[in-house]
Structure 1
Amino acid sequence: MRVLVFGAGAIGSVVGGMLARAGHDVVLVGRAPHMNAIREAGLHITGIWGEHTVRNLACYPSVAQMQAEGTIEPFELLLVTVKSYDTREAAGQLRPLVRPGSFVVSLQNGYGNVETLEEIIGEERALGGRVIFGAELVEPGHVKVTVYAEEVLIGSRLGRVELEDLIEITDAFTAAGIPTKPTQKISQHIWGKVLYNAALNPLGTILRRTYGELAENAYTREIMDHVIAEIFAVAHAAGTEMLWEHPEDYRKLFYGKLVPPTAAHYPSMLRDIEQGRRTEID
């Protein structure tokens, strides 16, 4: 499969690197220092999914540079891993690269990214992804997989993509070492990730604490419980279907299954602030 990863930071590099390691033809587009380091010495992936050095990656700082250097063959899969505030610009750059039979997948945090891709790319080509493993960019050319809670989920928000096409994508991810499943309820799962992020990330950033520390402290746990309850109230008021009927149902999953394997993780929002970068809620 020919794959383009647009916005290849930590998550995008892990996904692209693992797919390339499995034999897929992968192109990364990302920040120049990271791309240059990979060109020179390969992509180093470390952490809980093992240690790998991947050298069969084409890397560019922009789509324009990619095209200028002659990489113009069509892509079957285009993965969007930019911050949410860059989704519209990313979709505009990717639109000319989309061909019949290709799909564009949002592997991003936040709600609304898939809708933007549908608007610009087309409802029959845009897919959503729910990612709940963590990775960090250790240094240019080196990414580390830090935590894993559940499989990546990929699906069509409006049901415009055949299940067979979804399975082809998710099977490729899984065979590459990224546990992934298709879903017919991607919107609800993305809402679940919003719950997870909203409860943990701002509080962990303000207090500079890991997810596990937040869950262990009675005071921060109470704050997160209120955040979860408020999101449920907003979703219900908007007529949004959730995977859980009551906040208590989600909290059982949250504290019992999702937080424990990610307990040592610091919010990526904290890393953005520490490095002077814009956050996704700015």
Structure 2
Amino acid sequence: MRVIIFGAGGIGGAVGGHLARVGHDVVLIARPGHVKAINDNGLRLVTPGQTYVLHVPAVEGPEKISFGPDDVVFLCAKGQHTEEAMRQLRAVTADVPVFCFQNGVRNEELVSRQFPRAYGVMVRIAGVYLTDGEVTCRRDPPGWLTMGCYPSGTDSLLETVAGGLRSAGFLVKVSPDVMRYKWGKLVMAVSNAVYSLTNANRRDVDFIIQATQKEMEGLLAKAGIAWISDEDQAKEWPETVMPLRGQLILKVKDSTWQSLARRQGTVESDFLNGEVVRLARRLGTKAPVNKGLVTLSEEMARKRELPGKYTPAELAALLGISRGT
């Protein structure tokens, strides 16, 4: 099995780096500057216990790869890039399994339009990509993953892929109902925009996060969408709450924060908070808090503004939230 990492940033670089570290065949697809740095000097993978320099081949697009029957694609690009990534991939191969290592719940459906073998992956990896040629994986174990066929089910390939990831140190669970886990992760991820807009710690923005998540949870209940909370996941899978063997404490925050910090011009908020807005629309109602977060974060991205434009109080006022909300 050869693993093609499509989007070798914080998540993709961490997954690809750890797989390469233990001898798996890996190819990275990334942005030009990142590709040049990796090919010139190797991928620098920073972990709590050690820093590795890994000589992994990197290319700028799938057209540079000759695909074979043993290839699998790990799609690690942010949601706003999924459709373009699939167009590029479809131009060079008609049939390859695609695993969506992404936040949100819409990517799998987009992938399945082009490739019938689509898989969902709920990702909990603290990856950081700010400098070309370097990725930091802040935890040991490096992360935990729940994966399954889309829209449901399991197969033998899942077990093969899970085994490879486990050999690289990841905790992996195969589930026939993976989207329930991805909806649960989305309940957490709608907070990304709050951290990115304020650059504040959890204590100072907790009341905003609670309002954001409460709005989403109410819509999920109304729509009858099943999701799994962190508390329920911990009961199912106790290993995910065991003490870490190691951890790097950095000021860097989530993937949306990193996109703003790199001034990339786009963020994935429409695939996170925007999903809540679309769900509200389907139910004939509104999600003003999540809609406001999409609008503000996308505006900051377009203007290439750095994280922390608003204080918690300013953001709360813009969203119509009070501490008693």
User: In structure 1, which of residues 265, 268, 272 is the aligned counterpart of residue 255 of structure 2?
Assistant: 268
Q: Do structure 1's residue 144 and structure 2's residue 136 form an aligned pair? A: yes
| Preserved CA contact (<8 Å) 1:74 1:98 | no
Q: Do structure 1's residue 184 and structure 2's residue 176 form an aligned pair? A: yes
Letter of the structure 2 residue corresponding to residue 97 of structure 1 = T
Task: Note the C-alpha offset of 1:205.
Answer: 1.3
Letter of the structure 2 residue corresponding to residue 4 of structure 1 = I
Question: Residue 40 of structure 1: SS of its match in structure 2?
Answer: helix
Equivalent residue for 2:279? none
Q: In structure 1, how many angstroms separate the alpha carbons of the residues matched to 2:261 and 2:43?
A: 24
In the TM superposition, 1:213-224 aligns within 5 A as 213-214=201-202, 216-217=203-204, 220-224=205-209
Which whole-Å deviations, capped at 9, do the CAs of 1:84-107 have from their partners, x for residues lacking one? 0111121222234354xx521000
Task: Note the C-alpha offset of 1:165.
Answer: 2.4
Task: Note the C-alpha offset of 1:151.
Answer: 1.3
Q: In structure 1, how many angstroms separate the alpha carbons of the residues matched to 2:94 and 2:53?
A: 29
Normalised by the size of structure 2, how large is the TM-score?
0.71
Task: Note the C-alpha offset of 1:108.
Answer: 0.9
**Residues 183 and 49 of structure 1: CA distance in aligned 2, closer, same or farther (over 3 Å):** farther
Task: Note the C-alpha offset of 1:241.
Answer: 1.3
Equivalent residue for 1:118? 112
User: In structure 2, which of residues 149, 153, 156 is the aligned counterpart of residue 156 of structure 1?
Assistant: 149
Equivalent residue for 1:208? 199
**Residues 188 and 236 of structure 1: CA distance in aligned 2, closer, same or farther (over 3 Å):** same
Q: Do structure 1's residue 84 and structure 2's residue 79 form an aligned pair? A: yes
| Preserved CA contact (<8 Å) 2:153 2:176 | no
Question: Residue 228 of structure 2: SS of its match in structure 1?
Answer: coil
Task: Note the C-alpha offset of 1:48.
Answer: 2.6
Gaps of 5+ in 1: none
| Preserved CA contact (<8 Å) 1:75 1:98 | no
Letter of the structure 2 residue corresponding to residue 238 of structure 1 = A
Equivalent residue for 1:107? 101
| Preserved CA contact (<8 Å) 2:4 2:26 | yes
Task: Note the C-alpha offset of 1:248.
Answer: 9.2
Question: Residue 151 of structure 1: SS of its match in structure 2?
Answer: strand
Gaps of 5+ in 2: 236-240, 270-297, 299-325
Question: Residue 37 of structure 1: SS of its match in structure 2?
Answer: helix
CA RMSD of superposed structures (Å): 2.9
Which whole-Å deviations, capped at 9, do the CAs of 1:223-247 have from their partners, x for residues lacking one? 2222222111111222211225xx9
Question: Residue 89 of structure 1: SS of its match in structure 2?
Answer: helix
Question: Residue 110 of structure 2: SS of its match in structure 1?
Answer: helix
Q: In structure 2, how many angstroms separate the alpha carbons of the residues matched to 1:248 and 1:103?
A: 32
Identity %: 25
Question: Residue 127 of structure 1: SS of its match in structure 2?
Answer: strand
Task: Note the C-alpha offset of 1:189.
Answer: 0.8
Q: In structure 1, how many angstroms separate the alpha carbons of the residues matched to 2:94 and 2:171?
A: 26
Equivalent residue for 2:288? none
Q: How many residues align?
A: 259
Q: In structure 1, how many angstroms separate the alpha carbons of the residues matched to 2:146 and 2:255?
A: 20
**Residues 61 and 177 of structure 1: CA distance in aligned 2, closer, same or farther (over 3 Å):** same
Letter of the structure 2 residue corresponding to residue 224 of structure 1 = I
Letter of the structure 2 residue corresponding to residue 60 of structure 1 = V
**Residues 86 and 223 of structure 1: CA distance in aligned 2, closer, same or farther (over 3 Å):** same
Question: Residue 138 of structure 2: SS of its match in structure 1?
Answer: strand
Task: Note the C-alpha offset of 1:72.
Answer: 4.1
Normalised by the size of structure 1, how large is the TM-score?
0.81
| Preserved CA contact (<8 Å) 1:75 1:97 | no
Task: Note the C-alpha offset of 1:47.
Answer: 2.3
**Residues 41 and 7 of structure 1: CA distance in aligned 2, closer, same or farther (over 3 Å):** same
